[in-house]
Amino acid sequence: MKFRLLAIFVLTNLFTFAQSKSDSMWAVYKDKTKPDTARVKAIHDLAWGLRNNNPDTAIVLAGEELVLAQKLPGNKGKEKRWAGLAYRTIGISYKNKGNYDLAIENYEKALKNYETASDQIGVGAALGNIGLAYQYKVNYPKALEYNLKSLKILEELDHKQGMGTALANIGNVYLFMFNYEKALEYYNRSLEIRKAIDDKQGMADCYNNMGAVDKERKKYKNAGEYFQQSLDLNLEVGNMRGAGGCYNNLAEIFEFAGEHQKALVKYFECAKVLRTVNDMQALGYCYANIDEVYREMKEYKKSILYSDSALLISEQTGDLSVRKAVYESRSLTYAAMGAYREAYENHLKFKAITDSVFNEENSKQIGDLKTQFEVEKKETELKAQAAAQAVVAEEKNKRKNFIIYMGAGLLLIVFVFALITFNRFKVTQRQKRVIEEQKQLVEVKQKEILDSIHYAKRIQSSLLPNEKYIRRSLERLHRVK
């Protein structure tokens, strides 16, 4: 089993402090004439800066932060907020020491203080921290549960950096559950946000974890490119812990290519960096990987030597995943050496841890939580679909109303036009009747005139001799002469 050194994300930007040298912060903290608010900020900066490299000192300083927070005058919310920060610092420090139970205990105290202070960003951060601790304890259902709660709160706040962190942590859980498609989905969502806010460290972490996904999918070329992008960004921002993880993951690519010597060079660079930053858990992973390389090279004594170192660290940190992998590797190594009794003993230890970690109850919890997550996702999709259908229905209703209004308008226009036409028709009919009446009147007048003329003619005819009579009379007179 190869150990991926993933970027484990922690939401850190609850406050933004000016970057100062440690000696100046010590000076502020020790100067009791300074306001308590300034002193608590200084001691927090000191503790937070040491949480990874010197967790024991960070725990002591965070304890001082708690004492100072209680002295803040007249502001219970501010006191609780600083207490939440102090408990988170202690929790992360214990996580780095491999004591996950104490880490969860302090994260839960931080959560209560944030809730009292109504600090929702702090609540989201503490939930994410608890999820990470459960991930280290190989309790993936609990890890997924708390990370999903964290994401929900941070999305409601539209806290971009926090959303990027929560999305990536959920991707990590899915990666450890071997659900690579889901893991890549959440990493890509996180990377999109990181790019939008120009978070180079966040981008480096996403590239590292996306490389882990492609490595598992046997896309080694893509994986190597992702790991190198992550390494370059980590070195640019000075994150040596992240650089150590990239060295480890690049070593795996060389190992899969059969280039064992190049792989060992990268693993040793990884171990050197991790010892510098005192990351014991990651160092245990690195030693377990070196153990496996030497076993593949048949250098069994060196394999056993590094497996001893990995086991020693895993006992200090309580990391069952390292212990399980090392026992499996040692059983194979002893078998190859012909030491079958030792091989059998290590196999039994490997089997016992495997059964305790991946028991039936845990598998059922994973299945139940995945089902719950899918149901919530389906509900979200149905709500989105219903909203879309409502929009479509509203548009249809608008179009229907528009058609009705247009029809009514057209009918009104037709009615008005018909009314105008009818009025014009009535006027025309009236004019026609007037013309007919006038025509009839003219005809009557003409008849009266004609009748008068005919009457006069008859009178004339009755008084005057007709033309024939006159002509005859003229002819007789002419003959007489």
Per-residue pLDDT of the chain (481 residues; tens, 9 = 90+): 555 555 555 444 333 333 345 677 777 777 777 887 888 888 888 888 888 778 899 999 999 888 888 877 656 677 888 999 999 999 999 998 889 999 999 999 999 999 999 999 999 999 999 999 999 898 999 999 999 999 999 999 999 999 999 999 999 999 989 999 999 999 999 999 999 999 999 999 999 999 989 998 999 999 999 999 999 999 999 998 889 989 998 999 999 889 999 999 999 999 999 998 888 888 998 999 999 999 999 999 999 999 999 999 988 888 888 888 899 999 999 999 999 999 999 999 988 988 876 554 455 555 555 555 554 545 545 554 555 565 556 666 666 666 776 666 667 776 666 677 767 767 677 777 767 777 777 676 667 776 776 666 666 666 555 556 657 766 766 665 5
Measured in whole angstroms, how far is the alpha carbon of residue 345 from the centre of its chain?
47
Distance CA 281, CA 241 (A): 12
| Contact partners, residue 306, CB within 8 Å, separation at least 6 | 287, 288, 290, 291, 294
User: 86 with 63: CB under 8 angstroms?
Assistant: yes
The full length of the chain comes to 481
Q: Could you say which DSSP state residue 464 is in?
A: S
DSSP letter at 34? Answer: S
> Contact, 263 vs 255, CB < 8 A?
yes
User: What residue ranges define each of the domains in the chain, with the CATH number in brackets?
Assistant: 1-174 (1.25.40.10)
Quote the CA–CA distance of 61 and 52 in Å, as a whole number: 13
Q: How far apart are CA 403 and CA 398, in angstroms?
A: 9
Could you give the CA distance from residue 80 to residue 84 in angstroms, rounded to a whole number? 6
